[in-house]
């Protein structure tokens, strides 16, 4: 059942991204996703999140003002810290199970309080209980499995380690997406979430652009 719910969650995230520009409100992630009429929380009070009845986390989250220094490494992997200092904590055991069973996770990256960009699916490729951290790789192709296929995590998808060049490329694209989503969100807030020219208020139709190219440094006058 957990496998089917994960696949359905991936499909839901894909659909919602078309409507919200890839930026999810915290309440949306807690209350808006359901599977066969059952509400499933995709994130919660802790960074390593288990929906009710799950034995393996469905997501990991980095908050905008969290206590951990999480981020992407030069090898193109997401490095994520354990919860606390006890490797046998339930949350950390859940990460170990995700690693051992090759279970895909969702990564929620906070761009501002209460606003998150989702990255999925994420597979843990290194588990280090001594240093209290995992490393995970983004595997974009997996997201296109449909929920009705009833995928088996270990059999239906052949998970192979990406080479370093592919990992770095995927990470670069992901970081660009995180930056663009954050930029768009701040611009929308600055202009009351409407078009500054025509006052259109359908957020899903609005975009944000740099007047000065993002690659150029700003000079104070």
pLDDT at 195 over 90: no
pLDDT at 162 over 60: no
138-165 exposure pattern, b = at least 16 Cβ within 10 A, e = fewer: bbeebbebebeeebebeeebebeebeee
Query: 135 - beta bridge partners?
Result: 79, 126
Give the separation between CA 156 and CA 176, rounded to whole angstroms: 30
pLDDT at 219 over 80: no
Model confidence band, residue 111 (pLDDT cutoffs 50, 70, 90): confident
- Who has greater pLDDT, 47 or 163? 47
- Which of helix, strand or coil describes residue 115? strand
Average pLDDT over residues 148-156: 42
* Mean residue pLDDT across the chain: 78
Q: What is the pLDDT of residue 77?
A: 87
pLDDT at 107 over 90: yes
- Who has greater pLDDT, 166 or 150? 166
| pLDDT tens profile 4-42 | 999 999 999 999 998 887 889 999 999 999 999 999 999
- Who has greater pLDDT, 63 or 210? 63
Is the backbone peptide bond immediately before 93 cis, with ω within 30 degrees of 0?
no
Give the separation between CA 203 and CA 19, rounded to whole angstroms: 8
Average pLDDT over residues 65-83: 80
Q: What is the pLDDT of residue 6?
A: 95
* Three-state secondary structure string covering 23-78: EEEHHHHHHCCEECCEECCCCCCCCEECCCCCCCCCEEEECCCCCCCCEECCCCCE
Q: What is the pLDDT of residue 5?
A: 96
Question: How many angstroms separate the Cα of 205 from the Cα of each of 12, 20, 117, 167?
Answer: 19, 9, 18, 31
Give the separation between CA 18 and CA 15, rounded to whole angstroms: 6
Q: What are the structural domains of the chain?
A: 2-163 (2.30.280)
Cβ count near 128 (within 10 Å)? 13
Average pLDDT over residues 171-191: 64
- Who has greater pLDDT, 27 or 202? 27
Of the given ranges (41-55, 58-72, 109-123, 187-201), which has the lowest mean pLDDT?
Answer: 187-201
Task: Look up residue 99 and give its two tokens.
Answer: 């690693």
């Amino acid at each position: 059942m957990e496998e089917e719910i994960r696949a359905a969650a991936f499909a839901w995230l894909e659909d919602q991204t078309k409507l919200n520009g890839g930026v999810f409100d915290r309440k949306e992630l807690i209350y808006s996703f359901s599977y066969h009429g059952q509400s499933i929380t995709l994130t919660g009070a802790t960074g390593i999140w288990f929906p009710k009845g799950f034995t393996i986390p469905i997501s990991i989250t980095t908050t905008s003002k969290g206590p951990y220094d999480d981020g992407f490494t030069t090898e193109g992997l997401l490095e994520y810290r354990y919860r606390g200092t006890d490797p046998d904590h339930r949350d950390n055991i859940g990460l170990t199970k995700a690693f051992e069973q090759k279970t895909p996770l969702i990564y929620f990256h906070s761009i501002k309080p209460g606003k998150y960009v989702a990255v999925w699916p994420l597979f843990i490729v290194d588990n280090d209980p001594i240093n209290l951290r995992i490393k995970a790789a983004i595997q974009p192709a997996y997201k296109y499995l449909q929920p009705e296929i009833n995928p088996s995590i270990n059999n239906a998808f052949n998970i192979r380690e990406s080479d370093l060049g592919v990992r770095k490329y995927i990470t670069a694209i992901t970081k660009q997406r995180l930056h663009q989503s954050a930029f768009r969100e701040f611009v929308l807030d600055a202009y009351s979430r409407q078009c500054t020219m025509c006052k259109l208020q359908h957020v899903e139709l609005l975009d944000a652009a740099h007047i000065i190219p993002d690659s150029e440094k700003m000079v104070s006058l």
